[in-house]
Amino acid sequence: MSQNERLAELSKQGVAVWLDDLSRERLTSGNLADLVTTKSVVGVTTNPTIFATAISALDSYNEQLTDLRLRGVEVEEAVRMLTSADVRWACDVLAGVAANTGRDGRVSIEVDPRLAHDSGKTIAEARQLWWLVDRPNLFIKIPATEAGLPAITKCIADGISVNVTLIFSIECYRAVMEAYLFGLEQRAAAGGSFDGLESVASFFVSRVDTEIDKRLGGGKAVNGLLGRAGIANAQLAYQAYEEVIASDRWRTLAGKGAHVQRPLWASTGVKNPDYDDTMYIAELVAPDTVNTMPEKTMDAYADHGELGPPAQQQYDTAAATMKAIEAAGVDMTDVFLTLEREGVEKFEKSWEELLETVRGQLVAAA
């Protein structure tokens, strides 16, 4: 089987292949457009770390940085200008995919993560980015914090497509789905259209294994559990998704033209080199899902990945795995709280690094 055939087969199973990376070099060189045809890529996700790496390492931004410097643009606004330009360009590259599929061809841009615990400011930032990029195939990334949930509802009610990020637990995921449904209901009540309104819920995978493996430790008693929590947790998330879309509440919304909020598997690059480098793709195959992959992980799957059993066939095994992990002494509630807290902190740190990168580049542009 060729590289493209493996990824194309994944797409046929209902898994949308998205790239977890973006840079101006990918855009100017035509690389992103090539990935659409050669690797079945139909979407893109970004984050501050991705942009900081791109802006610090490439000359492609020099002209815009010089213009921003000459105009006296402050660093935070310069970040918005630089990142939104890339995302707008990527949206244009994927516009054909969006037109053909009606749901993919999406590119995500993240609200300032320092606003993760402020609903009002998150909503204001989401509106600004939606207006600034001004493309119908855009996703605004909002974290699934307590303050993020009402922001998700409000944005959906206002017709802003949302990528909900930093989901780790089933409990949090159910709250995210509730926020989405409530937003749809508000929009319907106000007579708003569902045309073009989409959402994904980004369920993080490898970070769950990293945290739980650390707590399990070593020894024969837990060897069968190491590296199994992330996949099991995500499989149970898909079970929760199926329960929601089977509900009368969802059927009512679907009858009015609403679109499902697809589960998106994020953090799919394997952190432990002892693990199969394609496992977070091969074992999370299910209809109406998205898998956003670092290019290294995408290439690994294209080279030697093999489809695993459908996620829907693994619910009992997944539940038994999570129960066994708890029986081994792992406090799952604390695990998920820790992961959410650290996730926000990491995003905030990345944002500060992005600001520092752009600040330095603006000085250099002088």
Instruction: Determine the residue type at 97.
Output: V
Instruction: Strands of the chain (E only): list them.
Output: 15-19, 41-44, 106-110, 138-143, 162-167, 199-204, 261-266, 289-293
Please tell me what DSSP assigns to residue 33: H
> Exposure of 143 by Cβ count < 10 A (0-12 exposed, 13-18 middle, 19+ buried)?
buried
Residue 322 has pLDDT above 80, yes or no: yes
pTM for the model stands at: 0.95
- Cβ atoms of residues 116 and 142 within 8 Å: no
Q: What is the mean pLDDT of the chain?
A: 95
Higher local confidence (pLDDT), 333 or 365: 333
Mean pLDDT over 331-353 rounds to 94
Domain boundaries, the chain: 3-365
- The per-residue pLDDT for 131 is 97
- What are the φ and ψ backbone dihedral angles of 200, each rounded to 5 degrees? -130, 155
Parallel/antiparallel/unpaired status of strands 199-204 and 261-266: parallel
- For this structure, is 141 an active site residue? yes
User: What percentage of the chain exceeds 90 in pLDDT?
Assistant: 88
Tell me the fold of 3-365: TIM Barrel (3.20.20)
Among 12, 39, 121, 141, which one carries the catalytic annotation?
Answer: 141
Residue 220 has pLDDT above 60, yes or no: no
- The per-residue pLDDT for 140 is 98
Residue 218 has pLDDT above 70, yes or no: no
